[in-house]
Amino acid sequence: MEVVSAAIKPKGRIVTQFLEYFAPLLFPEKSELISEARKILEDDKRRIKEDEFLSLDDALELFYDGICRQNPEFRTVLCVAPDLKRKSQPYRIALRTLEGYVDGINLRIYGDVNPIETLRDNNANFAIASSDLLLAKFISLIPRGTDVRDSGKILSCLPEDTTTMEYGFPLNINQARHMLITNFPADISVREDGIPLPEEGVEIAVNGEYYLIYSRIFNGRRYRLTEGEKVEPFVLRRDGMKKYGIEIVSSGRTLIEESKRNGSGLAVCRNPVYESSGIILLNDARREGSGSYRKIVSLIREMNQQIKTPEETTTAFMEKNLERYLI
């Protein structure tokens, strides 16, 4: 039986929101299972944020003796995997696969730590990804002077034969902003195009995944962009040092919680460095499923037109939450 396959990050906001807003419409017969799986992923994220780390044995025990005992179907839907981005790379619950028939087409959505690369290698028909990760993948090949903030232009301006992937459309989920944050009241200027600019020569902590994006956006301005541990706890650690960082912010709640937990100052530049959203990417080069996968994508597009962007991920909601911290 031919399978249409889609890749998505196995954890994080993109997968939990896709499970909330799209998956129940694609697989209505699995809506209760999907809802329970999403709640498990969200609860497990809270455990990790509270530094409740488990050994591999303990994580597997939680999964098989706890979660799967409640519902054996979770053995195929979820799994245990290390969180490679966090300090100590703790084990957590992640998406494995979600599979079923959509209009007679066998659709398999599976968790993949690098969905864009998997799609590029022709190992999936389409990917549910984010615009910032797409830009991070190809930023070094994009001609200077290109407006890298327009995700629809990223693939079209690459050198010929770079990839067979195509840009599909933006999703009304996973809205987030890459924000310049600091732990002290700073004097920030703003460039003509709205990019915030701290004084030259300062060190800015960044997530290494997006290092080249920030370097391009700041256009060679003399900053020391340093890759290292997770930005948020580094900048908001109370150690007497003045620090800058660029953090991905959706609602702003996590920033506030981290600041209060550490007793540190917090200031967030109102102007984002970069704004991102969920996106659909396509690849006709994968032969299996090539004749039917666009029907699935068309259904997702129709669903997307009916879905309102979750309020808690909008810029307005973030600004209201961070009102007293914005500069």
Using CA atoms, how far apart are residues 3 and 97, in angstroms rounded to an integer? 13
The H or E element spanning position 76 is helix 74-77
Q: What domain range is 183 assigned to? A: 176-274
Q: What CA dihedral angle connects 158, 17, 99 and 60, to 10 degrees?
A: 110
Residue type at 323 in one-letter notation: E
> Are residues 242 and 305 located together in one domain of the fold?
no
pLDDT of residue 193: 82
Using CA atoms, how far apart are residues 147 and 173, in angstroms rounded to an integer? 22
pLDDT of residue 229: 63
> Are residues 40 and 127 located together in one domain of the fold?
yes
> Are residues 244 and 304 located together in one domain of the fold?
no
pLDDT of residue 319: 92
> Are residues 91 and 230 located together in one domain of the fold?
no
Q: pLDDT tens per residue, the chain (327 residues)? A: 789 999 999 998 899 999 999 999 999 999 999 999 999 999 888 887 766 778 888 889 988 998 999 899 999 999 999 888 777 788 999 999 999 999 999 999 999 999 999 999 999 999 999 999 999 999 999 988 887 778 888 898 898 889 999 999 999 988 899 999 998 877 788 888 888 888 888 888 898 889 888 888 887 667 888 886 688 888 888 777 888 999 999 898 888 988 888 888 899 999 999 999 999 999 998 988 888 999 999 999 999 999 988 888 889 999 999 999 898
> Are residues 190 and 129 located together in one domain of the fold?
no
List b or e across 78-100, with b for residues whose CB sees 16 or more CB atoms inside 10 angstroms.
bbbbebeebeeebbbbbbbebbe
CA 126 to chain CA centroid, Å, is 17
Nearest to 11 by CA among 92, 103, 127, 75: 92
- In angstroms, the Cα distances linking 210 to 33, 93, 101, 139 are 34, 25, 36, 9
Note whether residue 295 is domain-resident.
Answer: yes
> Are residues 227 and 84 located together in one domain of the fold?
no
pLDDT of residue 221: 66
Note whether residue 322 is domain-resident.
Answer: no
pLDDT of residue 146: 81
Note whether residue 112 is domain-resident.
Answer: yes
> Are residues 188 and 285 located together in one domain of the fold?
no
pTM here is 0.89
pLDDT of residue 23: 96
Note whether residue 316 is domain-resident.
Answer: no
Note whether residue 323 is domain-resident.
Answer: no
* DSSP strands (E only) in the chain: 3-8, 78-82, 91-95, 97-102, 105-111, 126-130, 165-170, 176-182, 189-190, 196-197, 203-206, 224-227, 244-249, 267-268, 274-276, 278-283
pLDDT of residue 233: 81
> Are residues 112 and 216 located together in one domain of the fold?
no
> Are residues 138 and 162 located together in one domain of the fold?
yes
pLDDT of residue 228: 67
Note whether residue 47 is domain-resident.
Answer: yes
> Are residues 219 and 284 located together in one domain of the fold?
no
> Which residues lie below 8 Å from residue 199, measured CB to CB, with a gap of 6+?
187
Note whether residue 325 is domain-resident.
Answer: no
Q: What is the CATH number of the domain that holds 214?
A: 3.40.190.10
Q: Structure tokens of 62?
A: 């939680």
Using CA atoms, how far apart are residues 312 and 98, in angstroms rounded to an integer? 26
Q: Provide the domain count of the chain.
A: 2
> Are residues 132 and 189 located together in one domain of the fold?
no
pLDDT of residue 51: 65
> Are residues 134 and 229 located together in one domain of the fold?
no
Note whether residue 319 is domain-resident.
Answer: no
pLDDT of residue 312: 87
Using CA atoms, how far apart are residues 10 and 114, in angstroms rounded to an integer? 9
